[in-house]
Amino acid sequence: MMFDMDQLDLARSYKLLSSSIVPRPIAWVVSQDANGVANAAPYSLFNFFGGHPPVVCIGMGRPNGRDKDSLSNIRTTQEFVINMVTASLAQAMNTTSVAFPSGVNELDKAELETVTCSKISGRRIKLSPLALECRLQQIIDVKPSSVIVMATVQAIHIDDEYVKDAQRCYVDSARFDVIGRMESPGWYAKTVDRFVMPQPTLEEWESLRHDQPGLE
Ligand SMILES: Cc1cc2nc3c(=O)[nH]c(=O)nc-3n(C[C@H](O)[C@H](O)[C@H](O)COP(=O)(O)O)c2cc1C
């Protein structure tokens, strides 16, 4: 079946894409408004797009042409934290996705403690084993319904127990038990079921070339 994207309205187009491009990592964004009131919300239109400078992007919808609270805060303070979501934090993350009125601190609703950041003035979620302190670089308007927030990572906090070799920057990602977002309504994937397959060089691939069965 072929879906002609030109024929689809926003809701259908979004549903098709968000069910097709899976799993997606979840940026659990903590930001502050001008009065210092904290805000938390998950965003799965997220990834990193370069290592040096360390660039991350997040797609944020603008329902009815209005900024979500995270976007409004990022415009104001120019900074935010991306916390990674482990399976044990899934319910709390889901609570922070509720459309509470502006000014409500979702971190309180989800009973989440925060700690101060090192290079920005925001706060990060204490229980998240990995957090990225981010500074806004630019906001790209994707008219008429969303924006892409591009930011540079200023610092990464990783719980000591997951750092295998700090000098070489080896992280034991397997043990985070991070979750990814799948299709709607509300499906997620865990990352504990894994396999290893190093990317071969051309020489390795040519010397090993044989049947290429898929995974069982
Ligand atoms: C797992 C998950 C991922 C989400 N990803 C996005 C996203 O990438 N972009 C977006 O605009 N909304 C996304 N949402 C919806 C927002 O989290 C939701 O609109 C939230 O209320 C926004 O909060 P805020 O106004 O405090 O920023 C997601 C929701 C969930 C549960």
> 54-73: per-residue pLDDT in tens?
999 999 999 999 999 999 99
Whether the per-residue pLDDT at 210 is higher than 70: the answer is: no
Q: What angle do CA 118, 159, 178 make, to 5 degrees?
A: 110
Write phi, then psi, for 64 (nearest 5 degrees): 55, 30
Domain of 181 in residue numbering reads as: 5-215
Q: Looking at the predicted structure, is the pLDDT value of residue 211 above 80?
A: no
24, 44, 105, 187, best to mutate for ligand 1 pocket (most atoms within 8 Å of CB): 44
For ligand 1, mutation pick of 18, 24, 43 (most atoms within 8 Å of CB): 43
Phi, psi of 63 (to 5 degrees): -60, 130
- What residues form DSSP beta bridges with 179? 190
Give the type of residue at 205: W
Contact 40, 133 (CB under 8 A): no
Confidence of residue 201 (pLDDT cuts 50, 70, 90): very high
- Mind listing the pLDDT tens digit for each residue in 83-136? 999 999 999 999 999 999 988 899 999 999 999 999 999 999 999 999 999 999
59 ligand 1 Cβ < 6 A: yes
Q: Cβ(184)–Cβ(19) under 8 Å?
A: yes
Does ligand 1 lie within 6 Å of residue 68's CB atom?
yes
CATH of the domain at 82: 2.30.110.10
Residue nearest to atom 4 of ligand 1 (CA): 43
Residue pair 145/56 in contact by the 8 Å Cβ criterion: no
Whole-angstrom Cα distance, residue 63 to residue 30? 20
CA dihedral 62, 68, 71, 77 (to 10 degrees): 150
Q: What are phi and psi of 138, to 5 degrees?
A: -160, 160
- Residue 10 pLDDT > 90, yes or no? yes
Asked whether 60 lines ligand 1 (CB < 6 A), one says: yes
- Overall number of domains in the chain: 1
Q: Give CA–CA dist 171/212, Å, rounded.
A: 30
